[in-house]
Amino acid sequence: MSADVQPLPGPSGMGERPKITKDVWFLLFVVGTAFMASRYDFQLSTLALPQFQQAFGYDDQTSVLIGTIAKVGAIPAVMLTLMADRIGRKPLFLMAILGFSASALLTALAQNPLMLASGLFFTRLFTMVDELLAVVLLAEAAPPQARAWMLGLLSLLGASGDGVALAAYGNFADQPDAWRWMYAAGAVPALLSIVWRLALPESSAFVAAKQANQANQFALIRANRRPVILIGIAYFLFWLPISPALSYNSQYLQSVAKWEPSQVALVSFAAGVIG
């Protein structure tokens, strides 16, 4: 995949503005739509906690446990993503798409809390892999001068997935078992992956590193141990207070404050626009 920079003249003192190739725009479309779908699935997993509890009749303690199990899926996702340096970004990315599509179906068809917890766990696992690899694929393909801009567009597409989930939840969550078909809709990317498998090329950066026998993620981590550790600690501390609030705000607002799903969706949307 070519990511050559074709400079366009810019205003004096502003430097040269890179022109994004069609290949990179197409890659943004492919990984962006998958990213959108993964964010849709993840957003539903937190919004619909009260509906899960109502459908299966378990207590608040079990609801917290199921929400925790879903979050734990992010831990093996990080380790699984490291395989991208061995088998390639493309096959693992497609596997993640199929994985979260299958997990969405498992959640939609859940007949008991165990099936539900399993579906949510694997949904989080594969959506996390998909999100991490989407960033890697786009960062490796985009021109350095436009990398931040392209990643910003990717984030915008991901936020669109959150918005679709909020809109669907706010309008239909009151209907009996609506969460099932909303989750089933998250399996649509499995159909698109058939096309993506043929159209999505492997990362040129991975191919070059593989040919040079440099695709060793552990050597890279060892060489940058200090910044990796510091960034990891900062990221952990950032999410430590935020994650519980984002995970259980829908549960609290509906169970304790007696809000309607539409009110929860509206407030969440407004917070997302501001934040």
Rounded alpha-carbon distances, angstroms, from residue 216 to 121, 157, 231? 29, 31, 20
> Predicted confidence band at 218 (pLDDT cuts at 50, 70, 90)?
low
Could you tell me the two tokens for 50?
A: 């009260």
29-60 pLDDT, tens digit each: 888 888 898 889 889 988 999 999 999 999 98
- Residue 244 domain-assigned? yes
Residue 6 has pLDDT above 70, yes or no: no
- According to the model, what pLDDT value does residue 83 have? 87
Give domain status of residue 53, yes or no: yes
Residue 5 belongs to some domain of the structure: no
Lowest mean pLDDT among 59-63, 154-158, 207-211, 233-237: 207-211
The answer as to whether 31 is a domain residue is yes
Mean pLDDT over all residues of the chain?
84
Contacts (Cβ under 8 Å, ≥6 apart) of 205: 140, 141
Q: How confident is the model at residue 8 (pLDDT cuts 50, 70, 90)?
A: very low
Tell me what pLDDT residue 229 has. Answer: 87
Q: Give a yes or no: residue 248 inside a domain.
A: yes
Domain that holds residue 198: 19-274
What does the pLDDT read at residue 154?
A: 93
Domain harbouring 204, CATH code = 1.20.1250.20
pLDDT of 169 higher than 60:
yes
pLDDT of residue 248: 81
In this prediction, residue 116 carries a pLDDT of 96
pLDDT at 14 over 60: no
Hey, CA dihedral for 260, 266, 272, 275, is it positive or negative? negative
Which range, 16-30, 124-138, 210-224, is most confident? 124-138
Residue 153 lies in a domain: yes
Residue 172 lies in a domain: yes
Calculate the dihedral angle through the C-alpha atoms of 88, 94, 97, 101, rounding to the nearest 10 degrees. Answer: -140
H-assigned helices in 82-112: 84-87, 89-108
113 has a pLDDT exceeding 90: yes
Q: What is the pTM of this model?
A: 0.83
CB distance 267 to 245 below 8 Å = no
Least confident of 91-100, 115-124, 146-155, 203-212: 203-212
- Total structural domains within the chain: 1
Instruction: Specify the range with the lowest mean pLDDT, choosing from 116-125, 172-181, 204-213, 258-267.
Output: 204-213
Burial of 160 by CB count in 10 Å (0-12 exposed, 13-18 middle, 19+ buried)? middle
Residues 207-235 have a mean pLDDT of 73
pLDDT at residue number 191 = 73
Residue 4 lies in a domain: no
Please classify residue 161 by burial: count the beta carbons closer than 10 Å to its beta carbon, then call 0-12 exposed, 13-18 middle and 19+ buried.
buried
